[in-house]
Amino acid sequence: MSGEDGELYHHDHGFFQDRDEFAFQDERDDLSSLFAQNQGGGGAANSLQGLDPYAVSPFLSFDDFLDGSAVRHGTLASAFDASYLHPDVFGNGEITLVDSTAVKSGNDLAPLTGCGGGDGTSPVSPNSSVSSSSTEAAVEDDSGRRKKDQLKQEVDEEEEEEIKQLKRQGKAGEEAERDKAKKQNKPRKKGEKRQREPRFAFMTKSEVDHLEDGYRWRKYGQKAVKNSPFPRSYYRCTSLKCPVKKRVERSYQDPTVVITTYEGKHTHQSPATARASAQQLLAPPPPAAASTSFRNHLLMQQPRAPSAIQQHNANVSVNLPGFQSPLQQPQVADYGLLQDIVPSFTQYSEP
DNA sequence: CGTCTTTGACCCGCGC
DNA sequence: GCGCGGGTCAAAGACG
């Protein structure tokens, strides 16, 4: 990877030199542990003291993380001890990282997940806490690989059409596929700058590597990670034409921690969400009878007004402007993947 | 039989 | 130029 890995990696000694101070507080954490408490003091917030108050504001949003407007590069990453991650987890160090802790086997993220493209919700465990963040989307200085991949994807779509046409024309599908494979090795169109997909990572204390998040994934690769005994798995969303990928690996520092990195934006509805929505349409249950999953889903999508934060700063964790209930706030800025992932974090309060 | 995982091969960018 | 490492491909096998 690029040298930026190292850059971010080095941040890890910034604020959390003592691992025990890290945001993981098994089974207790929520997003507020790092943001609201920063306002109210105590707990993990203590560890945030010394952070640039602008960088870690209780009103800081993931949006800000992504666009880099409010966070100095790597600041939060340092705050949350990126050393929990293999340096490469961050790619170039521009990634939004959220920690959702304490997922045991059997737990899944599905109730809290949704999908992008407008109805975005996201994978998150019920016990979530923001752990670290840095932006990725705004910076266009990654290695050429990403550009290449994006170009490749674009070209692939054209080629798929081409292949379909060839098939229609009677050319053997296998041959067409081979043609495509050859094309993949030829130089890409020049001069095309493609925007990178934002990546969004979260850490989960989990016994299982691949957490259920409501989407269907196909594993397409696994690689040994340098300096880590744990392999990294590569998954792709199985939905047609959905570009979303995710990488799953265990922290080499803390094997109980699973790091999931999402990349891209779902172009379809989450199967889980679709099911829930269908159930709602067919037989809308009274609130009391609604499934926990669905209620959680709705809860997670409630809009949050700043005033609410101020009034309930002990409960509300992270302000995420833009991630508001689709019912009330149809205008959601396009934050790519983040849009898919973050709404689940937009409101989480403890009883 | 369709779907998914496994796994070795391959490609590419980067640093030396 | 070469080696390394990350990421992807795709054939083969497993599974339900």
List, for residues A45-93, the tens digit of each pLDDT value: 333 333 333 333 333 333 344 333 333 333 333 334 444 444 444 444 4
Q: Domain spanning A206-268: which CATH class is it, in words?
A: mainly beta
User: Quick check: A66 and A42 in contact, CB under 8 A?
Assistant: no
Token code pair at residue A150: 């994006």
Residue-wise pLDDT tens for chain A (351 aa)?
Answer: 433 333 333 333 322 333 333 333 333 333 233 333 333 333 333 333 333 333 333 333 333 443 333 333 333 333 344 444 444 444 444 455 555 555 454 444 443 333 333 333 344 443 333 344 443 433 333 333 344 444 444 444 444 444 444 444 443 433 344 334 333 333 333 333 334 566 777 788 877 777 777 788 889 999 988 888 888 999 988 887 788 888 988 887 788 888 888 888 887 777 666 666 666 655 544 433 333 333 333 333 333 333 333 333 333 333 333 333 333 333 333 343 444 444 333 333 334
Q: Residue A266, exposed/middle/buried by CB under 10 A (0-12, 13-18, 19+)?
A: buried
Report pTM.
0.53
Residues A236 and A247: their CA atoms lie apart, in Å, by 9
A54 Cβ within 7 A of any nucleic strand C atom: no
Q: Give the closest residue to B5 (Cα–C1′).
A: A219
Q: At what angle do helices A292-301 and A271-282 cross, to 10 degrees?
A: 110
pLDDT at A235: 92
What is the total residue count of chain A?
351
- CA A219 to C1' B9, in angstroms, rounded, equals 17
Which nucleotides in chain B lie less than 7 Å from some protein C-beta? 3-9, 11-15
Residue nearest to nucleotide B12 (CA to C1'): A145
Which protein residue's Cα is closest to nucleotide C6 at C1'?
Answer: A1
Q: How far is CA A145 from the centre of its chain?
A: 20
pLDDT at A25: 32
- What's the token pair of residue A83? 């050393």
| Interstrand relation of A96-100 and A245-250 (parallel, antiparallel or unpaired) | unpaired
Strand partners, A268: none
Question: A181 beta carbon < 7 A from strand C?
Answer: yes
Give the three-state DSSP class for A263: strand
Give the CA A15 to C1' B4 distance in Å. Answer: 42
pLDDT for the residue A278:
62
d(CA A9, CA A333): 30
In percent, the amount of chain A with pLDDT more than 90 equals: 2
- Interatomic CA distance for residues A324 and A218, integer angstroms: 30
The answer to whether strand C lies under 7 Å from the CB of residue A6 is: no
In this structure, is the CB of residue A171 within 7 Å of any atom belonging to strand C? no
Residue A206 forms beta bridges with which residues? A103
Question: B6 C1' – A10 CA distance, angstroms?
Answer: 35
CA distance A39 to A56: 10
- Spanning CA of A234 to C1' of C3, the rounded length in angstroms is 24
Residues with CB under 7 A from strand B: A 2-3, 143-145, 148, 184-185, 210, 216-223, 233, 235, 238
- What does the alpha-carbon distance between residue A170 and residue A201 come to, in Å, rounded to a whole number? 44
Question: What whole-number distance in Å separates Cα of residue A13 and Cα of residue A33?
Answer: 20
Interatomic CA–C1' length for residue A66 and nucleotide C16, angstroms? 42
Residues 6 or more apart whose Cβ sits within 8 Å of residue A122: A112, A113, A114, A213, A340, A341, A342, A343, A344, A345
Amino acid occupying residue A330: P
